[in-house]
């Protein structure tokens, strides 16, 4: 993993850490689709969120609940909780891989109340219905359908916001992060893993070359990703 | 959806300044037995917006919570039992959450509130 960053609300706001070199994850640094102020002024919507939600519904019906890649990412994210001395009684898990986060949490971070949120109702339902081992049952878990770009959580109510492989689909990543920050209490922790940078570079190149050859032009085939 | 969750949700429609607390429209409430955990309740007490909880509990038909509460009441078993019941045992299974400012309905389906916004609301 190139850099999986965490920031803490407080004076020391951002400290990316680097670990051994995998190429699939990048830190959640600013990703602006425009040259504006970097806040919520992105005019271009890269992702059709409505369609994305349908895709995630479909993924919920079809997916293998134990994907080793996703598990590795989730494990790596959750591992950071063990680096913190602080405990996080109230946590929000944003969309993406909510199920592995819940399954692999194993009492880390001292979480007492956990909110699982995704834009897809079926994904949330799947997570709600999934059987869990005894260790996680002590956590009060609730489930809501919500959009991380329009976070339905009141200000200063969370100790931890965690997102595993979900934020790379937001149109307004800075906006989503600002809202997470507002929802966090002072000294709360934001922990996220996203796909970024040169992920699937080979696929992107192959699609471009093939399309140039066959159709004489190119169109985007692979989602644009955040750069570190 | 438990009232514990309700206590943290707020309406996020563009232009809404005071989206908390959401009103509750009840279709079906279920009661699920949960073991009483006094430590959890004590640590949650400080994070709960009491007025919103009392109001929410009343709107789903439980009116045994006192209007005002202070931390000293946490020593009373009777209070803890009522607090526990309202916060964790009552589930809004079907119904809706209503934005206090715009009256927009957020449906609750099988215990999962849907807080997604329509395109014209963002």
Q: What is the ipTM of this complex?
A: 0.74
User: How many CB atoms are located within 10 Å of the residue A142 CB?
Assistant: 22
Same domain, A165 and A219: no
Peptide bond into A60 cis (omega under 30): no
Residues of chain A under the 70 pLDDT cut = 1-43, 131-137, 228
Domain residues for the domain of B87 are: 3-113
CATH, residue A69: 3.40.50.150
DSSP string, A88-145: -SEEEEESSSHHHHHHH-TTGGG-SEEEEEES-HHHHHHHHHS---GGGGGSEEEEEE
CA distance A138 to B34: 10
Domain residues for the domain of A116 are: 49-193
The confidence score (pLDDT) of residue A67 equals 86
B21 pairs with which residues across the strands? none
pLDDT, tens digit (0-9, with 9 covering 90-100), for A26-57: 333 333 334 444 444 445 788 888 898 999 99
Same domain, A146 and A183: yes
Cβ(A151)–Cβ(A183) below 8 Å: yes
Tokens representing A172 are 């307004």
Residues in chain A with CB shorter than 8 Å from the CB of B47 are: 89-90, 157
The confidence score (pLDDT) of residue A228 equals 66
Same domain, A155 and A204: no
The confidence score (pLDDT) of residue A134 equals 53
Same domain, A179 and A217: no
The confidence score (pLDDT) of residue A139 equals 85
A55 falls within a domain: yes
Same domain, A144 and A220: no
Residues A145, B115: C-beta atoms closer than 8 Å? yes
Residues of chain B under the 70 pLDDT cut = none
Q: Least CB-CB distance to A143: which of B19, B43, B112?
A: B112
Coil/strand/helix, residue B49: coil
Give the A-side interface with B, CB within 8 Å: 50, 53, 89-90, 112-113, 115, 119, 121, 124-125, 128, 140, 142-147, 149-154, 157-158
Same domain, A189 and A89: yes
Same domain, A182 and A202: no
The confidence score (pLDDT) of residue B53 equals 94
A43 falls within a domain: no
B119 falls within a domain: no
Same domain, A175 and A123: yes
Same domain, A83 and A145: yes
A26 falls within a domain: no
User: Of A152, A184, A186, A188, which to mutate for an interface test with B (greatest number of B Cβ within 10 Å)?
Assistant: A152
Three state DSSP letters for A172-198: CHHHHHHHHHHHEEEEEEEEEEEEECC
CA distance A31 to A34: 9
pLDDT, tens digit (0-9, with 9 covering 90-100), for B70-88: 889 888 899 999 999 999 9
Residues B47, A90: C-beta atoms closer than 8 Å? yes
Same domain, A109 and A65: yes
The confidence score (pLDDT) of residue A132 equals 65
How many domains are there within chain A?
A: 2
Residues in chain B with CB shorter than 8 Å from the CB of A150 are: 12, 115, 117, 122
The confidence score (pLDDT) of residue A182 equals 92
Residues A152, B10: C-beta atoms closer than 8 Å? yes
Q: What percent of chain A has pLDDT over 90?
A: 39
Residues in chain B with CB shorter than 8 Å from the CB of A154 are: 8-10, 19-20
Residues in chain B with CB shorter than 8 Å from the CB of A159 are: none
B120 falls within a domain: no
How many domains are there within chain B?
A: 1
The confidence score (pLDDT) of residue A135 equals 56
Residues A144, B43: C-beta atoms closer than 8 Å? no
B9 pairs with which residues across the strands? A153
Residues in chain B with CB shorter than 8 Å from the CB of A149 are: 122
Contacts with A105 (C-beta within 8 Å, 6 or more apart), sequence order: A78, A111, A114, A136, A139
Same domain, A57 and A157: yes
A12 falls within a domain: no
A113 pairs with which residues across the strands? A90, A140
Residues A142, B4: C-beta atoms closer than 8 Å? yes
pTM for the predicted model, two decimal places: 0.76
Q: Least CB-CB distance to B116: which of A140, A146, A153?
A: A146
Same domain, A185 and A81: yes
CATH, residue B16: 2.20.25.10
């Amino acid at each position: 993993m190139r850099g999986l960053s965490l920031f803490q609300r407080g004076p020391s706001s951002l400290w990316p850490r680097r670990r051994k070199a995998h190429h699939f994850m990048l830190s959640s640094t600013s990703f602006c689709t425009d040259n504006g102020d970097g806040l919520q002024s992105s005019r271009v919507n890269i992702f059709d969120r409505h369609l994305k939600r349908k895709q995630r519904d479909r993924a919920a019906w079809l997916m293998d609940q134990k994907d080793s890649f996703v598990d590795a990412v989730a494990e790596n994210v959750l591992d950071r909780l063990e680096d913190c001395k602080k405990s996080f009684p109230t946590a929000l898990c944003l969309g993406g891989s909510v199920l592995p986060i819940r399954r692999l949490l194993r009492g880390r971070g001292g979480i007492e109340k956990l909110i699982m949120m995704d834009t897809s109702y079926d994904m949330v339902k799947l997570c709600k219905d999934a059987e869990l081992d005894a260790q996680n049952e002590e956590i009060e878990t609730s489930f809501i359908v919500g959009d991380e770009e329009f976070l339905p959580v009141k200000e200063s109510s969370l100790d931890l916001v965690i997102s595993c492989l979900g934020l790379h689909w937001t149109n307004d990543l800075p906006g989503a992060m600002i809202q997470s920050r507002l929802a966090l209490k002072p000294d709360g922790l934001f922990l996220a893993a996203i796909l970024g940078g040169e992920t699937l570079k080979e696929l992107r190149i192959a699609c471009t070359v093939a399309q140039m050859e066959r159709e004489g032009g190119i169109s985007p085939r692979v989602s644009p990703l955040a750069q570190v | 959806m438990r009232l514990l969750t309700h206590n943290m949700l707020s309406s996020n429609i563009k232009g809404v300044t005071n989206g908390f607390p959401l009103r509750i429209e009840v279709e079906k409430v279920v009661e699920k037995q949960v073991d009483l955990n006094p430590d959890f309740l004590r640590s949650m007490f400080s994070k709960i917006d009491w007025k919103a909880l009392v109001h929410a509990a009343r709107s789903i038909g439980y009116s045994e919570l006192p209007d005002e509460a202070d931390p000293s009441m946490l020593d009373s078993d009777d209070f803890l039992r009522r607090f526990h019941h309202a916060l964790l045992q009552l589930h809004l299974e079907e119904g809706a959450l209503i934005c206090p400012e715009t009256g927009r309905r957020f449906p609750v389906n099988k215990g999962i509130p849907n807080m997604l916004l329509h395109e014209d609301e963002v």
